[in-house]
Structure 1
Amino acid sequence: MSHKTLLRTGPLLQGGMSPYGPLGLPGADGLALPSGFGSRIVARSGQKVAGLTWHAAPDGGACFPDGAGWIYVSNSELPLLGGASALRFRADGSIADAYRILSGTDLNCAGGATPWHSWLSCELGHRGRVFECDPYGARAARPRLAMGRFKHEAAACDPERRVVYMTEDEPDGCFYRFRPGDWGDLTEGTLEVLCASGSWQVVPSPAALLKAARHQVDDARHFDGGDGCHYAGGVCYFTTKGDTGLWAYDAQTGTLDRLCAGVRAITAAPSGDLYVARETTEIDVIAPDRAVTPFLRLDGHDGFELTGLAFSPGGDRLYFSARRGRAEGSTFEVSGRFRA
């Protein structure tokens, strides 16, 4: 699936006409959507879905192909009881199954999908780990300790350079990349950190037993609370929650730009459009021509955060969760004619 890349120069263009038209009135679930789009809640924290009690504090998510259907995976940012769950959808969109793919881990916040169809679930706790999970539920999850021990937020795979980018949720967190010895096997490899000079330097001790990973390289560049992360079209986009920034690391040129503020979560559509969750309960579209326009608004959910944005493999359904703190949460599906 190819993605167009956002232009690297000039400001984003706020306002203007959305490619989908104006938002309509909120539906029964509180979502205000453009004409031609529909929505439903596919899971609620504490309630059964296909026999599974859906987890609290739903966070990062991703979709995976499954024959004629697909799977949506969602993390749980709960202390000690976090982990991740999966929803299996049939080709007609009905839910066939729900099951756990990771249990007994701590504060599983965001993560990222791999090109070989595994899910990287990231622990946010002190000396957190990255767990590689099987979204199909056939294999047990495994920790990938070579990817470092720190407050992991999100991960994004770059298949061209064969690295995995990672964010760190610290007030002086870093932006990392992991270079596995063999692409497709994350058991061993080299952890590197982005430096102020624009170069990447090796983190001497990824296990961080005596000194935090972010403090091991003097020239390391620091960010105010690394958050969401997504790779598309030669660019790794990531957000920083401290200053609500949206950043773009152009892996082809090695340059880093701050695109805008007010963003928490991010994903990309097959069209090349970016979909970004705001600090408010809104999701905007950023088109390849840099125009920023509203796509949806969730009313009646003050104090909630939108997380886990992900498109189905066919690009016709967008999933996300709305959560408040580490308690209640709902996982939504928006369907319609997204532009190709």
Structure 2
Amino acid sequence: MDRRTLLRATVAGAGGIALPFTAWSAAYASPAQNATGPYGALRAADANGIQLPSGFTSQVVARSRQTVPGTSYRWHDAPDGGAVIPNGNGWIYVSNSEVSSSSGGGASRLVFNSSGQVTGASRILSGTNQNCAGGKTPWNTWLSCEEISLGRVWETYPLGGSAVVRPAMGRFKHEAAAADPVRQVIYLTEDETDGKFYRYIPAAWGNLSAGTLQVFRAGTATSGSFTWADVPDPDGSPTQTRYQVSGAKAFNGGEGCHYADNKVWFTTKGDNRVWQVNLSAGTYELAYDDNLVSPGTAPLTGVDNVTGTPSGDLYVAEDGGNMEICLINPASATVSVFLRITGQGASEITGPAFTPAGNRLYFSSQRGTSGASSGGITYCVTGPFR
């Protein structure tokens, strides 16, 4: 009996009536379950091939190897992790390029005015390899992470300035980063089948040049308490960082990472899970597991990049799956589909990020309709986000 069947059998056996989710969640810390989304059903695909709820519209803002409209800059291949940086007069969307240095790896930016029109585009990082995800800092820099063995974190300056490598943040197969201004640390995921979850404690907040790398220690269960332990050799040589500390908890393919309200969420693609770490309580648990969804079929597979809104909703992008961005409401422990890209089954959705006002969502289809890195498409969805 698989876990989804076991969950359904257990619920059905509780006096023949399923417990209300609040009771089930309190008693068993059950991950998010299927529910109707806050925006209703998806409409037919629009001219860009995107299915959206009523009231939402999409537009294409950039295409790989094509000049960004209104600029002279050619958008990079394989757009991946991204973030929005406010710049006073509007905002900047930064995006990684998940290709090798010889193919133009690094990161670029799109500059928007307060009306959402592109006013500029340029390169902010070059000569790096397989920059997958990353994270925004409270001082408005973008941490671009290399997803290779002994990969590095590069701090880039979308508002102006030259990128700087941050070796003290560890050399491993980096994926995403999330800043915690309360504890003044940066959380980091590792894309290995036995990858670890880390935090970096800068010697001075706002300066990532020196600090301490620590790894998450916990048992083998999907919930419980945890501690942090120093990684002796962050350079990952001769022993890789994930093997240096006994008791470090393994996670199957760390991907996206998001911090909000004394909690940090991160995703693992190998088992289609979203993890929640309650930093105030010192506990962790599953926020989503595709094998524990009931009733019906799990809407979210190929779990990858994640971002959040001021209202507390999490938006999780799929690497493959049905090419959807799904919405998890941690407050109600529910999951639903927000949008679906059609006709791009050989791609993945990357880089979801909201504008400061919360009314625009940027993201990319890394390989678009062609299925090749040269076919990437970056979109903007506008609408009545709550």
- Please say whether Structure 1 and Structure 2 have the same fold, judged by a TM-score greater than 0.5: yes
Does structure 2 conserve the Cα–Cα contact (< 8 Å) formed by 1:264 and 1:277?
yes
Cα distance in 2 for partners of 1:12, 1:222 equals 19
Worse overlay, 217-226 or 14-23: 14-23
SS at match of 1:53: coil
Instruction: Tell me whether 1:338 sits opposite 2:385 in the alignment.
Output: yes
Task: Report the AA paired with residue 38 of structure 2.
Answer: P
Does structure 2 conserve the Cα–Cα contact (< 8 Å) formed by 1:37 and 1:336?
yes
1:191 corresponding residue in structure 2: 213
State TM-score, norm by structure 1: 0.94
- 5+ residue gaps in structure 1? 1-6
Task: Report the AA paired with residue 297 of structure 1.
Answer: R
- 5+ residue gaps in structure 2? 1-24, 220-225, 291-300
Cα distance in 2 for partners of 1:329, 1:31 equals 15
Worse overlay, 16-25 or 264-273: 16-25
Question: Deviating runs (4+, > 6 A) in structure 1?
Answer: none
Cα distance in 1 for partners of 2:332, 2:204 equals 36
2:22 corresponding residue in structure 1: none
Task: Report the AA paired with residue 54 of structure 2.
Answer: S
SS at match of 1:125: coil
Which structure: greater helix fraction?
A: 2
SS at match of 2:252: coil
Instruction: Kindly name which structure, 1 or 2, has the bigger radius of gyration based on alpha carbons.
Output: 2
SS at match of 1:242: coil
Instruction: Tell me whether 1:276 sits opposite 2:313 in the alignment.
Output: no
Aligned length: 332
1:286 corresponding residue in structure 2: 328
Worse overlay, 270-279 or 8-17: 8-17
Worse overlay, 326-335 or 8-17: 8-17
2:129 to 98, 106, 131: 106
Which structure 2 residues correspond to residues 23-172 of structure 1 after superposition, within 5 A?
A: 23-49=42-68, 50-80=71-101, 81-136=104-159, 138-172=160-194
Does structure 2 conserve the Cα–Cα contact (< 8 Å) formed by 1:238 and 1:246?
yes
Identify if the C-alpha distance between structure 1 residues 62 and 244 changes in structure 2 by more than 3 Å, giving closer, same or farther. same
Residue 11 of structure 1 deviates from its aligned partner by 2.6
Instruction: Tell me whether 1:302 sits opposite 2:320 in the alignment.
Output: no
CA deviations over 1:288-325 (Å, ceiling 9, x no partner): 21221221111111121111010011100001111236
Residue 12 of structure 1 deviates from its aligned partner by 4.1
Does structure 2 conserve the Cα–Cα contact (< 8 Å) formed by 1:123 and 1:153?
yes
SS at match of 1:270: coil
Cα distance in 2 for partners of 1:240, 1:225 equals 5
Residue 13 of structure 1 deviates from its aligned partner by 4.6
CA deviations over 1:130-171 (Å, ceiling 9, x no partner): 0000012x2100001100011100000111111100001111
Does structure 1 conserve the Cα–Cα contact (< 8 Å) formed by 2:84 and 2:94?
yes
Task: Report the AA paired with residue 48 of structure 1.
Answer: T
State TM-score, norm by structure 2: 0.83
Does structure 2 conserve the Cα–Cα contact (< 8 Å) formed by 1:12 and 1:292?
no
1:4 corresponding residue in structure 2: none
Which structure: greater strand fraction?
A: 1
**Sequence identity, in percent?**
51
